Amino acid sequence: MSELIDIKNVSLSAAEMVEEGRINKALYSDPAIFEEELDKVFNNTWIYIGHESEVPEAGSYKTAWIGRQSVILTRDRKKNLHVLQNRCRHRGATVCEDRTGKTKSFTCPYHGWSYGLDGALRAIPKPEEYEGVLDKADLPLESLRVETYNGLVFATYRDDIESLEDNLGGAKKWIDLFMKQGGGYPVKVLGEHRFSFPGNWKIQLENTTDAYHFPVIHKSFISSLDDATQDIFDFLDGEGYVEDLGNGHSVMVMIPELVDLEENVDQEIPQRFQDLADELRAEGRSENEVKKLVRAAHGTGFNLNLFPNVACSMAFFRVLRPVTVDKTEIQHVAIGGEGAPEPFNRRRLRVHEHFQGPMGFGTPDDGEAWERVHKGSQSGPDGWVLVNRGMNNLHESEDGNVAGSVCSETGMRAAYREYKKMMAAGEEK
Amino acid sequence: MTTNTQVLNEVTSFIWSEADLLDHQNYGEWLDLWTEEGLYIVPAEFEGDENFKDTLNLALDDANMRRMRVNRLESGESVSARATGNTVRMISRVRILEAGDDLVVARCAMTLNEMRHGKLVTYPADVEYQLQPSGDSYRLNRKVVRLMHADSFLRTVSFIF
């Protein structure tokens, strides 16, 4: 372990506040660093916007956020996806305040400027005063660069950074594995939980790659499970691992047996799934399909943390949004199978409600811990937060990546390494 | 008219005593108010439809989940539940929507206040009750709590609405 040195009256840059194994607590609480992050991180990399199933048809749209900036994800008449800045080019009002919907155009409520699904400015009321003043072709809603991977939609302000696929790199394999949980049907968003906590966004980013906390803070959730499921969640002494996938991404495998949901489909249906299996059989599903659906019903055995704002977490998407230095909004997005049997999707909804969201049996205890971490970050003139767990117990993964044990902080170090790189941009050192 | 006022008084009295049980964390007694097939529902949308089983909710509790929820809050294992004190809820605007012999449907406005780490958090909600007449009182058959915050971002909740 690195020696903890006492630093006083030294002004460190945010990048310098990240060391391998520890970060300065000011990274949670300093408003100036937060502003810098919105620019250097959120305006400079691929940001998760949504899942393709949330905009299924021509004309479908949803609003999303890149930090404080409101954007609209749309699907145009040719079914192409766009991510548009939610800002009229005239006086700058937002043109859309709905979470989701279907439309042919976005009309600014202030003076009636109207934009197409691709952002093109189509109509201006009383245009004669603009003759020779402006050309509509020059004033579309600002469009961001959009790319998708296996249903996940990302956008960036940067035209000159690597492609999404290059950025995801080693994470692509895990996205593909994650998407197998439709049980043979395409993954579809079923709904979402929305909640906020009074704390910095990086506290949530860390949590999705933190297995160490699970048996401690989530004891009351574990107690509510049947014995067989309790055994499954008793993974800290198991064969799981955390793997650094590069570019800030990481995967934490808690239940290795549930990495590939299309493997071992033939195994006997566990007792806790008998009711679901019976419902599916009653619908006339073949035994093979019943087994496939049952195996996929509770999701995968891993959390894939994608830097900086999304995780594919066991059975749902976790999306975070930095609002202020001490406020973070989180969406827990429930997923199921498009066209999958009703009992399957219902089961997935109930499993999601059990742990996730502001009234789940898990999230409120996470929220309590995060709030306290943030509070603690304001104690004392200086202090460090440790992310060095398992640093001396690393190995090389099958894919040649650095990996640690399941309850190591390897994933946090991966994220902070990328964070440091981005925050250092523009510094001479 | 007399009958309607009587039903309104009885229902209001029932809702107030339920509120008192919840505010003072008498969760065991609250569980006893329910019919076995009753559903406690907190939808994830303020104005969502009634197809709760095929929709994501904040809570959709049958008898088993209600017992587990209460157990979680009372077991001492949940750090957020330990950090939550009593709530104070105000109930008003009680209106009887249906007054049958087997089922009474009522709707009311509720504002719940929680002191969370020294800060007051307030939850306005529209609450609908389906009550089964039982002796000289009622049993809860369905309670739907539509939170105004549901469309936005809630704080985490370690109590029962």
First to last CA, chain B: 32
| Closest Cβ–Cβ partner in B68, B79, B156 for A358 | B156
- For the stretch B32-51, pLDDT in tens is 999 999 999 999 999 888 99
Substitution target from A214, A220, A333 for chain B, most B beta carbons within 10 A: A220
Task: Quote the CA–CA distance of A305 and A310 in Å, as a whole number.
Answer: 7
Residues of B whose CB is below 8 A from A197: 155-156
Task: Quote the CA–CA distance of A218 and A367 in Å, as a whole number.
Answer: 11
A191, B78: Cβ pair inside 8 Å? no
Task: Quote the CA–CA distance of A403 and A409 in Å, as a whole number.
Answer: 10
Among A211, A205, A197, smallest CA distance to A375 is for: A197
Q: Over the range A313-336, which residues count as b (16 or more CB within 10 Å of their CB) and which as e?
A: bbbbbbbbbbbebbbbbbbbbbbb
Task: Quote the CA–CA distance of A276 and A350 in Å, as a whole number.
Answer: 12
Strand order of the β-sheet with A143-149 is A47-51, A152-156, A143-149, A81-85, A69-75, A60-66, A100-102
Q: How far is A377 from chain B (nearest CA, A)?
A: 16
pTM of this structure: 0.95
Residues of A whose CB is below 8 A from B56: 190-193, 334, 349, 352-353
| Closest Cβ–Cβ partner in B42, B55, B72 for A224 | B72
pLDDT of residue A3: 61
| Residue B2 clears pLDDT 90, i.e. is over it | no
Grouping H, G, I as helix, E, B as strand and the rest as coil, residue A332 is strand
Mean pLDDT per block of 10 residues along chain A (429 residues) reads 55 94 96 98 98 98 97 98 98 97 98 98 97 97 98 98 98 98 97 97 97 93 90 89 98 97 92 95 96 96 98 98 98 98 98 96 95 94 94 97 97 98 82
Interface of A with B (CB under 8 A): 99, 190-197, 217, 219-221, 223-224, 329-330, 334, 342, 345-346, 349-350, 352-354, 357-359, 361, 363-369, 371, 375
| Contact predicate A200/A28, CB 8 Å | yes
| Contact predicate A274/A347, CB 8 Å | no
Task: Quote the CA–CA distance of B158 and B161 in Å, as a whole number.
Answer: 10
Q: Which residue of A has its CA nearest to B43?
A: A193
Exposure of A276 by Cβ count < 10 A (0-12 exposed, 13-18 middle, 19+ buried)? buried
Main-chain dihedrals φ then ψ at residue A47, nearest 5 degrees = -115, 135
CA A329 to chain centroid, in Å, comes to: 12
| Contact predicate B152/A194, CB 8 Å | yes
Q: Which residues lie across from B145 on neighbouring strands?
A: B127
| Contact predicate A166/A149, CB 8 Å | no
pLDDT of residue A7: 53
Report the 10 Å Cβ neighbour count for A410: 27
- For the stretch B99-128, pLDDT in tens is 999 999 999 999 999 998 889 999 999 999
| Residue type, position B155, single letter | R
Report the 10 Å Cβ neighbour count for A369: 21
| Contact predicate A206/A288, CB 8 Å | no
Segment (H or E) for A171:
helix A171-178
Q: Which residues contact B17 (CB under 8 A, 6 or more apart)?
A: none
| Residue B67 clears pLDDT 80, i.e. is over it | yes
Task: Quote the CA–CA distance of B107 and B97 in Å, as a whole number.
Answer: 7
Q: How far is A228 from chain B (nearest CA, A)?
A: 17
- For the stretch A268-305, pLDDT in tens is 998 989 999 999 999 999 999 999 999 999 999 999 99
- For the stretch B124-144, pLDDT in tens is 999 999 999 999 999 999 999
Residues of B whose CB is below 8 A from A369: 79
Chain A contact for B151 (CB, 8 A cutoff): yes
Q: Which residue of A has its CA nearest to B158?
A: A364
Q: Which residue of A has its CA nearest to B42?
A: A359
| Contact predicate A245/A202, CB 8 Å | no
pLDDT of residue A429: 46
Segment (H or E) for A177:
helix A171-178
Chain A contact for B68 (CB, 8 A cutoff): yes
Residues of A whose CB is below 8 A from B53: 346, 349
Give the angle A178-A180-A182 at the CA atoms, nearest 5°. Answer: 110
Chain A contact for B46 (CB, 8 A cutoff): no
